[in-house]
């Protein structure tokens, strides 16, 4: 299992970072990046649900 972000889809609004800062952070390119790809924190699903462009997904 791996949490991934589609950088093309990300619009850099920072919602995922604010909901789940141990897993997502904003990178220098203004897009989100995953800092803990294996996290099973519940907030990961919150971020997936909240992302306006559906840029976050989980790869099995
Ligand atoms: S919530 Fe979605 S669009 Fe917003 S920064 Fe995170 S991945 Fe990008």
Residues 2-58 have pLDDT tens digits of 999 999 999 999 999 999 999 999 999 999 999 999 999 999 999 999 999 999 999
CA distance 39 to 19: 14
- Domains in the chain and their CATH numbers? 2-59 (3.30.70.20)
Tell me if 34 CB under 6 Å of ligand 1.
no
60 has pLDDT over 90: no
CA distance 45 to 49: 6
Tell me if 57 CB under 6 Å of ligand 1.
no
Report yes or no on whether pTM surpasses 0.85: yes
Tell me if 27 CB under 6 Å of ligand 1.
no
């Amino acid at each position: 299992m791996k949490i991934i972000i589609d950088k093309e889809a990300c619009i850099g609004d920072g919602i995922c970072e604010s909901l789940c800062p141990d897993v997502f952070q904003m990178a220098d390119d203004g897009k989100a990046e995953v800092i803990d790809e294996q996290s099973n924190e519940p907030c990961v699903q919150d971020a997936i649900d909240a992302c306006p462009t559906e840029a976050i997904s989980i790869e099995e």
